[in-house]
Amino acid sequence: MLAQETLTPRQAPVCQWCGRELPEQQGRGRKRKYCSASCKQRAYEQRHNLESTGIPADSVVLRPERVDELRDEVYELKCAAEDVRTAAAEGADAQELRHLCDELVAIANRIEKLR
Ligand SMILES: [Zn+2]
> From the CA of 52, how far away is ligand 1's center (Å)?
25
Which range has the worst mean pLDDT, 1-5, 22-26, 69-73, 99-103? Answer: 1-5
Q: What count of other Cβ atoms lies within 10 Å of the Cβ of residue 32?
A: 15
Helix spans in the chain (H):
37-50, 64-89, 94-111
**Neighbouring residues of the ion ligand 1, judged by CB less than 5 Å:** 15, 17-18, 35, 39
29-49: pLDDT as tens digits = 778 899 999 999 999 999 998
In degrees and rounded to multiples of 5, residue 83 shows phi and psi of: -60, -40
